[in-house]
Amino acid sequence: MLRFAPSPTGDMHIGNLRVAIFNYVVAKQKNEQFIVRIEDTDKERNIEGKDSEILQILEKFALGHDQLFYQSENLHIHQTLAIRLLEEGKAFVCTCTPEELETDREEAKAAKIAYRYSGRCEAMKSGDLARLKEENIPFVIRLRKPEMAILHKDIIKGEIVTAPNEVDSFVILRADGTPTYNFACACDDMLTGIDCIIRGEDHLSNTPKQIHIKNLLGYSAETQYAHLPIILNTEGKKMSKRDDASSVKWLFLEGFIPDAIANYLLLLGNKTPHEIFTLPEAIEWFDLASISKSAAKFDIDKLRFVNREHLRRMDARRLSTLFGFADADIGLLAKIYLEEASTLGELETKVQAIFRPKNFDCEWGEQMRILQKVIYDAPMIMDFEQFKEHLSKESTLKGKAFFKPLRLLLTGAEHGPELADIYPYIKSYILEIAS
């Protein structure tokens, strides 16, 4: 069982999308369910509408899920499990005030050592709970740190050993009764039988904590982990919100298509048998273990190349509809422009220039008018050579004075692909185009 567990706290980052794709692919390979769990427990960080945005993006990428749930639906289960750990003495109530904890943190900082919980409330028992409630004393529930090191084998990172002190006695239930990320996450993974967790390496330090939680809850099923290296920008820094290309929404607006983005993210830091492929093809050969251990650098030029190749392979009629045309011709016309354009946005600019009313107020305006008149008076000519001969004969224009205005009239641009290549796809719109 695999899961994608996004927090509805911002725009979908390509790093998250990569995690979703990898989980989906592995679920399909294992013939197991793919669960989407919206991690909405931290109410203050949730942003209205981001959950549906995430779900829409997953749909655009055809990452269909078998189950969808919101983490907050499990609140009472998280609370019950926290109380159970408390009653079993595996967790304790902690009444340390935020000020006390802050002082401890500052002391650790001054001593240049990593902050760890002081252990001040470790002796408190579940029996103290009633008194604290009665006296209205705020408390949290902390899990007792493990007695032995936590060991786990990561598919990408290898074997990782975490000392008990590093796991620390951490909070599982906050003073307002809500679970912390690690606790809610570990409980839900356990409850849904997630046996393979693929996520970003920023979560690597959470893994021993989550293993410890599951151990104390008596969950013994084996879980595999794979932490994906971060994605770097061109400057070699972690791709953040400040990098436009980190936002899936931005990539869509630029005209990168889902098939190409998915292809690129599967290619990133990976050894693949082909460079251009579809998601169903990747399911055939994808191997998590072949993902590079080191960070991958995002390369927009490579993505542009992959996008171009997917546009080239796209059904022409489908491509036409993206530009508002029903017949395949415009898709085929757009494909010719893939020599000089890579995104839907760039292709659209080219196609629009062909159909937009032409500017006759230019160096070749006069000749364009002459050619326009000949085109208006001519019958529809199927063959470009014949079309050219007819225009040249009727207009008496020659050489540059013929070709320059003809190109401008037909494409709205001074340069571009061979007119002979374009003509078959524009001939049926010629009167509209030469206007």
The residues binding ligand GLU (CB under 6 A) are: 5-7, 39, 185, 199, 203
CB of 178 to ligand GLU, least distance (A): 14
CB of 85 to ligand GLU, least distance (A): 20
Nearest of 71, 34, 43, 65 to residue 185 by alpha carbon: 71
CB-CB contact of 150 with 167 (8 Å): yes
CB of 185 to ligand GLU, least distance (A): 5
Closer by beta carbon to ligand GLU, 39 or else 259: 39
Phi, psi dihedrals of residue 98, rounded to the nearest 5°: -55, -35
d(C-alpha 257, C-alpha 334), whole Å: 15
Closer by beta carbon to ligand GLU, 156 or else 319: 156
Q: At what angle do helices 384-395 and 419-426 cross, to 10 degrees?
A: 100
Report CA-CA distances (Å) from 326 to 43, 316, 318: 46, 10, 8
Length of the chain equals 435
CB-CB contact of 220 with 274 (8 Å): no
CB of 8 to ligand GLU, least distance (A): 9
CB of 199 to ligand GLU, least distance (A): 4
d(C-alpha 40, C-alpha 178), whole Å: 11
Q: At what angle do helices 258-267 and 14-30 cross, to 10 degrees?
A: 80
d(C-alpha 303, C-alpha 298), whole Å: 9
Strands 34-38 and 140-143: unpaired
Closer by beta carbon to ligand GLU, 50 or else 203: 203
Closer by beta carbon to ligand GLU, 182 or else 342: 182
Contacts 24+ apart (CB under 8 A), 353-360: 353/411, 353/412, 353/413, 354/410, 354/411, 354/412, 354/426, 354/433, 355/429, 355/432, 355/433, 356/412, 357/435, 358/408, 358/409, 358/412, 358/434, 358/435, 359/408, 359/412
Closer by beta carbon to ligand GLU, 3 or else 28: 3
Closer by beta carbon to ligand GLU, 5 or else 397: 5
CB of 93 to ligand GLU, least distance (A): 26
Closer by beta carbon to ligand GLU, 142 or else 199: 199
CB of 3 to ligand GLU, least distance (A): 7
Closer by beta carbon to ligand GLU, 6 or else 255: 6
CB of 90 to ligand GLU, least distance (A): 22
What is the H or E stretch that residue 188 is in?
Answer: helix 181-191
